[in-house]
Amino acid sequence: MAKDTVSNLRIRRRLLVVFFLTVGVIVALILRLGWVQFGMAEELQQKAWEQWNRSIPTRSSRGNIYDCNERLLAGSATVETVVAVPPQIEDPVFTARALASVLNMDEEKVYGLITQDKAAVYVKRKIEEEMAKEVRLLNLPGITFTHETKRFYPNGSLLSQLLGFVGMDQGWAGLEIYYEELLKGRDGHIVFPTDNKGREIPGVRRYIPPKEGADLYLTIDETIQFIVERELSKAMIEFDAERVMALAANPQTGEILAVASKPDFDPNDYNKYSKEYWRLYPVTETFEPGSTFKLVTLCAAIEENLYDEKEYFFCSGSTVISGHTIRCWTSATGGHGSISFLEVVLGSCNTAFIELGERLGPDKMYEYIRAFGYGARTGLDYPGEGKGLIFRPEQIGPLELATCSFGQGISVTPLQQVMAVSAIANGGYLLKPYVIKEIRDADGSVVEKRSPEVIRQVISSDTAAHVTSIMEGVVNEGSGINAAITGYSVCGKTGTAQKVGPDGVYIHGEYILSFIGFAPAEDPQVVLYIAADGVKRGAQWGSQVSAPLFRAIIKDVLSYLEIMPAQSPEKGEVKLVEVPDLKGLTIDEAGALLDTDGLLLKLVGKEGVIIDQTPKSGAKVPVQTGIIVYLEDLWDAENPEFVFAPDLRGMTVKEVGEVLSRLNLKLKPAGSGVVVKQEPAAGTNIQMGSVIKVHFSSPLQ
């Protein structure tokens, strides 16, 4: 009896264990089912969706870029891309052969693409409309299309270095990469269901539209940009320069109105150009500023009451600092002699500016250099902005103080120069430059609007007015006279800086010739910086190369902006100057002689002394008249009846006629504009009386 009771208890225990285990398993299954049904629903639904649906991306339309007057600078056009859906391709070999012939692709490459274990692959992207039509006519199973956008630049190379360009999927340079996230938008998709073999179930496609990118509205004025680039292109031809550059800004706001360097590139075909052409030199590159930097020393000296324009200074042509001889540009003629400090600025005397630097001392000099923004990036919304290099106070010895007082031994960007001079033009305030005026979404609503931003006041309004007056004198009667415009009050400063090589040593005979200024003096609206690098033809003086280039640009810009010339009679008179006798002089001697005369030196030949000139010495001509001089290497010393063909590039028809007539050569012209090509080539030894065929054209590429 007792044994039966124990046995029954064991059976009951086992049954209870089995019961609870069964209940536990059932509860666990219910919980698991609930988790699968609810907790994992979204994940499983997504996996199921991916199994029976395929997706082809459709690229968003990239935002447009406009100038300040809403003229299109960069836009996007819809193009088609060939897409393969490998599971739907019935005969890969035939399909690859057919596509390769139409798409101009390698057959093996096409076969490799269309046989990948993927839902969809690109075969060829962004094809022309005619090619897309041919692919459609093939009617190949598993071959379809998706829409993409292709970037285009309606003005070709105009503003190319600022805009940058777009690669296959994203911006690669300039504003295109800097504002990539805003411009690119959000991609859409074409979604369609498939059967268990990956074949599309017809009639059930769904289109998820992309979101367009934002539009950029620049501070750039397309017309001003065109004027700038037109004149830079002319200068490249006329002076056979390695590079020329310009940057224009509104000194009252900090808005960049135009910026360019030549040579440049066409962003529609960017792969055809060297990467060097992609760079926006006025923003990214640094170099020694030369005499344009003297404006900073002048401002500091006036602000600290260390400058008296009536005080006199004696320039002997050179001075010795810490055992180093530093020369003034007039050293070949014995210096300026005794001149007032006003004449010091008008004549750009190096030794006198060394004196001003010594009066300021290293700490004050550094303080003002930093205050004007040098040695730091301006914060312009553009990638790769240069910073420059300046001395710290502990690095400034007597020699460093002397050289930086007239713009040597330090490096700056043209943009920094423009913003510093803008502070002089606007009454003493350093502004932050900007190139984006507005950002608008795809609906046209303004999402961001930029406005002028004052960084700090660097000089008083009185100092700014005083320096403005002196800069006007530089243009009216000093080294900047070739930048003067009849009827306008133009302010400026020339610069001639020797180039520094990769080893940190100055390169003999190579200079960066610059000019910076603004107009009109009474209400400055435009600050313009010009620089010519590696000039191979022409006098190596900023007054001879960059000042007239500045004048050509600023004159048309003022006219475009409808800034009327002053009505003062004395400013409307034509100033006549007497042509000096240049025969027997070297190029440098002639350039120094003409520096403040307001005459331009036009060289025919490369080296030697001047043999002849047009107009002749003693003639009275208007300021800024070009004096054509003929160098001795034009004539064949061994054969008097032969001459070497002159380099005519950049000359006008009138200038070419005068030159060839003087050398007893005949002209056969073709086209109009300035000379871009000649036959025979410059330097060819030809007999007098020979014909030179000259091709004229517009310099704007």
State both tokens at 13: 């225990």
Does the annotation count 291 as an active-site position? yes
Supply the DSSP symbol for 273.
S
Spatial distance between the Cα atoms of 602 and 661, rounded to a whole number of angstroms: 16
Tokens of 562: 């409808």
Nearest alpha carbon to residue 294 among 553, 483, 516: 516
- Write the CB contacts of 413 (distance below 8 Å, at least 6 apart in sequence): 282, 283, 284, 285, 286, 385, 386, 387, 388
Residue 11 DSSP SS3: helix
Provide the CA 512 distance to its chain's centre, in angstroms. 17
Phi-psi region of 32 (alpha: psi -120 to 50; beta: other; left: phi over 0): alpha
Rg (C-alpha) for the chain, rounded Å, is 36
Report how far residue 587's alpha carbon sits from residue 597's, in angstroms, rounded to the nearest whole number: 16
> Sign of dihedral through CA atoms 157, 162, 163, 164?
positive
Q: In the chain, what are the helix, strand and coil shares in percent, each to the nearest 5? A: 35, 30, 35
DSSP-assigned beta bridge partners for residue 84: 121, 143
Q: What is the largest CA-CA distance in the chain?
A: 152
DSSP character string of 668-686:
EEEESSEEEEEESPTT-EE
Which helix (H) or strand (E) element contains residue 218? strand 215-218
CB atoms inside a 10 Å sphere around CB 614: 18
- In 3D, which of 628, 696, 695, 692 has the Cα closest to residue 660? 692
Which is catalytic among the residues 291, 348, 489, 514? 291
User: Do 407 and 292 touch, CB atoms closer than 8 A?
Assistant: yes
**Which among 74, 477, 540 has a CA at the least distance from the CA of 268?**
74
Q: Bridge partners of 53?
A: 193
User: Which residue, 413, 309, 419, 291, is CA-closest to 354?
Assistant: 291
Helix (H, G, I), strand (E, B) or coil at 527: strand
Which strand (E) or helix (H) includes residue 456? strand 454-457
Classified as helix, coil or strand, 495 is: strand
Strand 429-431 vs strand 454-457: parallel, antiparallel, or unpaired? antiparallel
CB atoms within 10 A of CB 473: 17
Q: Give the number of other Cβ atoms within 10 Å of residue 71's Cβ.
A: 14
What is the rounded CA–CA span in Å between residue 560 and residue 276?
A: 32
Token pair in block for residue 441: 């979404």
Angle at CA of residue 398, ends 353 and 542, nearest 5°: 35
Please check whether residue 293 is in contact with residue 406, taking contact to mean a CB–CB distance below 8 angstroms: yes
Strands, E assignment, 599-665: 599-604, 610-614, 620-622, 625-631, 642-644
How many whole angstroms from its chain centre is CA 123? 36
Catalytic sites, residue numbers: 291
